[in-house]
Amino acid sequence: MASFLKTLFLGASIALIGAAAHADNNAPIRLIIGFPPGGALDNLARSLAEDLRTTLKEPVLVESRPGASSRIAIEAVKSAKPDGHTILLSGTPPFVLFPMTYARLSYDVDRDFIPVAHLANVPSVISAGAGQPFKTIPEYVAWVKKNPAGGGVGLTNLGGGLHFSVLQLSKAIGVPLAPVTYKGGAPLATDIVGSHVPLGTDALATQLELHRAGKLRILGVAGTKRLSWLPDVPTIKEAGYDAFDRANASYAAFVPAGTPKEVVAKLETAFVGAMHNAQVRAQVERMGLEPTGLPGAELKRIMREDSAYWRPIVQASGFKSED
């Protein structure tokens, strides 16, 4: 009897292990994002998920882990099993700027993650209420020099590229520009429209339709080239200031360190292919994003160049993140 029970127990254990392994192999791929549903990154993730289900022939889910400036999502992916089933979709600032502004982070960019693909650029703009007395960047500069008390600039977070670009613009024009933070693009846009803040800077996606409706006016776009959505709006560089040349963030995909090379390669091919799919590109462009679809090595190079660009600017600012 004892021998029979031992055999029965061993058989049951093997069956349970086999069932667990089978369940693990059939676990869905999860795209983890650090923002609530409904935003640009969530919409991008859902467009990608639809394409990836076909190319990878596996279920793909989008999972929001908002909070702590996306660090909760980053930590969740860092701690996940490195089997290619848990993928972080994130903006690049947490990997480029956070190591410069946080005294302590729970993750190491190079040690804990593998870059999979560069997905899209996030165009940013400077805008003002339609009732403001200035209609261009040069007109704003002339106005704020005469009205330095009106140097507030609305933005959605401190410690990002737009924040440091505002500080650079302040230095260039010789007027103190004070960042005014908002809990999201919607309340910021509301205050820009209502002229409660003289100037604001945020992602194009949050302000494009308001600009088209005449409720606010986009004065200039970040980066070094004009945007296809706004061909008549000059870059801030064209207006004479290079402070926003590298202000645009990117969206990218990462997996935990230790993920097998062949799995990373498979995911890279799938993500790059998705971003070159005409239907996905059209959806992404409607969101106010610029689809790219670049391999992980290119993503790593871009982040390295961004780090080299921002490091002296961040150090000179003395800014440290406290949240």
- The domain 12-121+249-317: what is its CATH number? 3.40.190.150
What homologous superfamily is domain 124-221 in, according to CATH? Periplasmic binding protein-like II (3.40.190.10)
For 90-111, the pLDDT digits (tens) are: 999 999 999 999 988 999 989 9
- Does residue 7 have a pLDDT over 50? no
Q: Do 113 and 99 form a contact (C-beta atoms < 8 A)?
A: no
Q: Which amino acid is at 47?
A: S
* Domain pair 12-121+249-317 / 124-221, same fold: yes
Q: What is the pLDDT of residue 35?
A: 85
Q: What is the pLDDT of residues 163-198, one digit of tens each?
A: 999 999 999 999 999 999 988 888 999 999 999 999
Q: What is the pTM of this model?
A: 0.85
- pLDDT tens-place string over residues 116-135: 999 999 999 999 999 999 99
* CA–CA distances in Å: residue 179 to residues 69, 143, 262: 17, 17, 45
Residue-range domain boundaries for the chain: 12-121+249-317, 124-221
Percent of the chain scoring above 90 in pLDDT: 82
The token pair that represents 107 in the structure block: 């993750």
DSSP tag of 67: -
pLDDT in tens, 195-238: 999 999 999 988 999 999 999 999 999 999 999 999 999 999 99
